[in-house]
Amino acid sequence: MEDLDTLVLRTACAWQADGLPVVLVTVARTWGSSPRPPGSLMAIKADGATVGSVSGGCIEDDLIERIRAGGIHAACPALAPTVQRYGITADEAHRFGLPCGGTIELVLEPVSPHSRLDELLAACEQRRSVERILDLATGGVELRDGRRDGVPHLDERRLTTYLGPQFRIIVIGAGDLSRFLCQIALGLGFEVIVCDPRIERHAAWSLPGVGISREMPDDLILRLKPDARTAVVALTHDPKLDDLALIDALRSDAFYVAAIGSRRNTSLRRERLGTHFGLTEAELASLHGPAGLYIGSKTPAEIALSIMAEVVAVKNGVALPAQARVDTGKSGQSTPVEAGCGV
């Protein structure tokens, strides 16, 4: 499953290739509460078909109604990029469903070959981060290699946005827990790759939309070179598979590296990785283990939810309290749960 930005770009490119008029809408700035953050994308076809979103629905309805009634010229006079602000007054905020009187500023851009959406999409598919600069007067676009994330910047002349590759998760081990974790990750818009060299594990394991690798996990990690939009989660309980993958993942740019296991096994793993493989204290400190947030999980589905919740929190830069960690939560139990990987 694609993330929403990639889906918007791919759909807009397809509509343009078919010769259909399309408007690309970007959330440039917000004030107060807003349903969608700056940088969010939506594409609207001349017949009102849409992909993506910029609000809870009311703003989309207004844009669709205008474009259906007057074509894309109604949204972009002279077929030039247009800045549109919603929710300036309390009445408008109420009308457009903006919470707490929030205000949202959009840039509406008629899609053309000058938009260079095909090049932007290709860069994202190649896992390259791109800075896109839209000239508001001409509609021309400049693309530069840039940082992977950034808040859009809008001034009187241009809109600068930042797009990066789809978030990706590499799962070591094909099992029941992996299946639930992959299903959740797919729903969250992650690219998902499962790695397991054990042939017997593949016979009954398949999930649409998930890539499967039979490589040794450390070989896969070295080949893929995890970037700052990649998470790596080891789920096999087998040190021969988990540890070597973790070593290379912890020395990569991956934003999240974790392994399941009891508190005792986690402690032994850290000792092994430091003593026998020379990982530094800083590298070991970045290993999340036992993986996940402490929510009293028992079943594979609950454990998968716990792990993906931690992945999303780290991705979004949320500083979690110590009580949220599995080891802290378990240490506070009157009857410790040490069996398996319950979190």
Decide if pLDDT at 140 tops 90.
yes
Q: Residue 335: its pLDDT value, please?
A: 42
Average per-residue pLDDT for the chain: 88
Does some domain include residue 13? yes
Single out the residue of 84, 231, 129, 123 nearest to residue 172, CA to CA. 231
Instruction: Examine residue 338 and state whether it is found in any structural domain, yes or no.
Output: no
- pLDDT for res 125: 87
Q: Which of 142, 163, 184 is the last residue of a domain?
A: 163
Does 337 map to a domain?
A: no
Rounded to the nearest 5°, which phi and psi values hold at 299? -85, 160
Q: Which domain holds residue 245?
A: 168-328
- Establish if 335 belongs to a structural domain: no
Query: Does the pLDDT value for residue 105 go beyond 70?
Result: yes
Q: How confident is the model at residue 94 (pLDDT cuts 50, 70, 90)?
A: low
Residues 129 and 260 grouped into a single domain? no
Categorize the per-residue pLDDT at 148 as very low, low, confident or very high, splitting at 50, 70 and 90. low
pLDDT at residue 93 in the model: 61
With 0-12 / 13-18 / 19 or more C-beta atoms within 10 angstroms meaning exposed / middle / buried, residue 200 is exposed
* Preceding omega of 300 cis (within 30 degrees of 0): no
Specify the pLDDT at position 95. 65
Task: Give 153's strand partners.
Answer: 160
Does residue 340 have a pLDDT over 50?
no
- Please state, for a pLDDT cut of 70, what percent of the chain lies above it: 91
Rounded CA-CA distance 65/320 in Å is 43
Q: For residue 41, is pLDDT > 50?
A: yes
**Residue entry with tokens 């949220």:** 324
Give the phi and the psi of residue 209 in degrees, each rounded to 5: 90, -5
The answer for residues whose C-beta is within 8 angstroms of residue 234's C-beta and 6 or more apart is 172, 173, 217, 241, 242, 245, 246, 258, 259, 260
Of the chain, the percentage scoring pLDDT greater than 90 comes to 58
280 HSE (CA, 13 A, CB side): 4
Residues 132, 239: one domain? no
* pLDDT for the residue 224: 95
CB 55 within 8 A of CB 61: no
Question: Which element (helix H / strand E) includes 44?
Answer: strand 41-45
Based on the fold, state whether residues 179 and 133 are members of the same structural domain.
Answer: no
Same domain, yes or no: 142 and 212: no
Residue 215 domain flag: yes
If asked whether residues 72 and 105 sit together in one domain, one would say: yes
Both 142 and 177 in one domain: the answer is: no
User: Are 67 and 141 in a shared domain?
Assistant: yes
Please write the tens of the pLDDT for every residue from 304-336: 999 999 999 999 999 888 888 887 777 765 444
- pLDDT the model gives residue 91: 67
Q: Are residues 151 and 209 in the same domain?
A: no
Reported pTM: 0.82
CB of 127 within 8 A of CB of 154?
A: no
Q: Which of 136, 163, 190 is the last residue of a domain?
A: 163
| pLDDT for the residue numbered 130 | 92
Is 241 within the bounds of a domain?
Answer: yes
**In contact, 54 and 40? CB cutoff 8 Å:** yes
- Give residue 84's pLDDT band: very low, low, confident or very high (50, 70, 90): very high
CA dist., res. 189 & res. 213, Å (int): 20
C-alpha distances in Å from residue 198, one per residue of 66, 79, 172, 233, 243: 57, 57, 11, 17, 16
Across the beta sheet with 50-52, the strand order is 50-52, 41-45, 22-31, 103-110, 82-86
121 and 250 share one domain? no
Q: Is the pLDDT higher at 108 or at 57? A: 108
Report if residue 174 sits inside a domain: yes
Average the pLDDT over 68-76 and give the result: 91
Query: What number is the average pLDDT over the span 225-237?
Result: 94
* Residues 32 and 9 both lie in one domain: yes
Q: Work out the pLDDT band at 342, boundaries 50, 70, 90.
A: very low
Contact 309, 187 (CB under 8 A): no
Give the residue from 128, 163, 198 where a domain finishes: 163
| Strands 130-135 and 141-145, bridge-based pairing | antiparallel
Within a domain: residue 342? no
Question: Is the domain of 173 the same as that of 322?
Answer: yes
CATH number for position 320: 3.40.50.720
- Between 147 and 85, residue with greater pLDDT: 85
How many domains is the chain partitioned into structurally?
A: 2
Regarding whether 97 and 172 lie in a shared domain, the answer is no
